[in-house]
Amino acid sequence: MRSLTRGHVKAGFDSVRGAKWRNFWTMLGIIIGVASVITIVSIGEGVKQQISQQINHVGKNVITVRPGTIRTNSTQSKSDFSVLSGLSITGSLRDTDVKTVADNKTISASAPLAAVSTDVKGDHATFNNTFVIGTSPDLPELINQKLAYGVFLSVDDEGMNAAVLGTTIASQLFDTDVPLGHSFKIHGEEFVVRGIFDDFGSTPLSDDANYNNSIFIPYDVAQRITKNTAVVYEILAKTESASAVSPTLSSLQKSIKKNHGDQNDFSVLRAEQSLAARSNVLSLLTNLISGVAAISLLVGGIGIMNVMLVSVAERMHEIGIRKAIGATNRQIMSQFMIESSLLSLSGGVIGVIVALIFDGLMRFFTNLRPVISWQVVLLAFGVSLAVGIIFGTIPALKAARKDPIEALRSQL
């Protein structure tokens, strides 16, 4: 029995090698499906790990205030944006909210983040719709980020046209690597570079900007140059200890709700909640795209079935000879099932290799850090094997049920 099985496996390999290009195009759907699923899941897992690392980076005593209410999927209506993302965003933050957070007795540091999208003109280039952030001197402490050169904005810079740049935009605006003291223009006003941030591996506690491409200016200056139209999209705050987070959350919730006329059109979140919201959105999108990619596996399975049906038709004489010398229906069926499984597994192996190459390229050329787990790889192999077995059943049954006399009468 073992020698017979080995013979079927050898025959299966010979069949796959005998029509290399036809079998490659047959496996392409499996290759694309396996590679896509592994790549997408690995990107999602990598980003989740980066998100969880942010909690340790910024500290568990950081509080985030955001416009809008974050609700669970169970409370959403079908017309909400949350059908896709799990979030529903409404409302806005105001200057009174910024002051309320800063004046809270249990808050040791706070910083508003006000967005200004405007043109910026430097020595080397002009950029349209650059993301400028109005904030306060406490920001580096809140996001636990160091400066590569110079100093951050201080209390003395309030009302002054001073700026701190992200690493990427600093190199793009000026010809020098360290443009401290250089000036550039925002809204026609001249700003002086005070400092350059270290590279941000990821945007802390926020999805709203790439801080490496952002410019940071005093909050009051941001409001002045936009005539008080700069949108406060987030307020960061830090308590003196982790134990003070819960009572501070409750206190801020009440105070800000009062500012908003008793409307709950804002969210006060601890660091874990803020990052969990992003993680949930990421999981939903990962599952959605993985489902789309899984369709390739279905297409690949149909391709395998079609090729195996053609193979059965081409090998009618072989089937007739084998049955004439005593091969059973089960043995004939096993041979074709093994061949279809080999096709599918070969596609799975190539798909895993392609996914590894893609993940390596993403690590090299982007800030993404995909994480491929052995569970996902095993699942990919299992699914590809199942596809081969399921879609190889019909051709195998067709081959096994052939009458040996009719099969022998077929043309060689």
In the prediction, which pLDDT does 224 show? 92
In the prediction, which pLDDT does 83 show? 34
* DSSP per position, 317-379: HHHHHHHHTT--HHHHHHHHHHHHHHHHHHHHHHHHHHHHHHHHHHHHHSS------HHHHHH
DSSP alpha helix (H) spans, 178-270: 219-225, 245-259
By CB atoms closer than 10 A (0-12, 13-18, 19+), residue 192 is middle
- Mean pLDDT for each consecutive 10-residue tract of the chain (412 residues)? 53 60 75 83 76 61 77 38 39 85 90 87 77 91 88 91 91 83 88 91 59 91 90 88 85 90 83 62 65 69 75 73 77 78 84 89 81 82 79 77 68 51
In the prediction, which pLDDT does 286 show? 66
361's tokens: 């390229």
Q: How far apart are CA 275 and CA 53, in angstroms?
A: 10
Element (H, E) at 30: helix 20-58
In the prediction, which pLDDT does 76 show? 39
Backbone angles phi, psi at 196, to 5 degrees: -125, 125
In the prediction, which pLDDT does 244 show? 84
Q: How far apart are CA 336 and CA 393, in angstroms?
A: 8
Q: How far is CA 307 from CA 14, 80, 119, 135, 321, in A?
A: 15, 45, 58, 63, 22
Positive/negative CA dihedral, 268, 273, 278, 282: negative
Residue 39 neighbours by CB under 8 Å, 6+ apart: 355, 358, 359, 370
In the prediction, which pLDDT does 71 show? 46
In the prediction, which pLDDT does 289 show? 65
Positive/negative CA dihedral, 166, 171, 175, 178: positive
CB atoms within 10 A of CB 301: 25
Tokens 């406060």 correspond to 232
In the prediction, which pLDDT does 197 show? 92
98's tokens: 């910024």
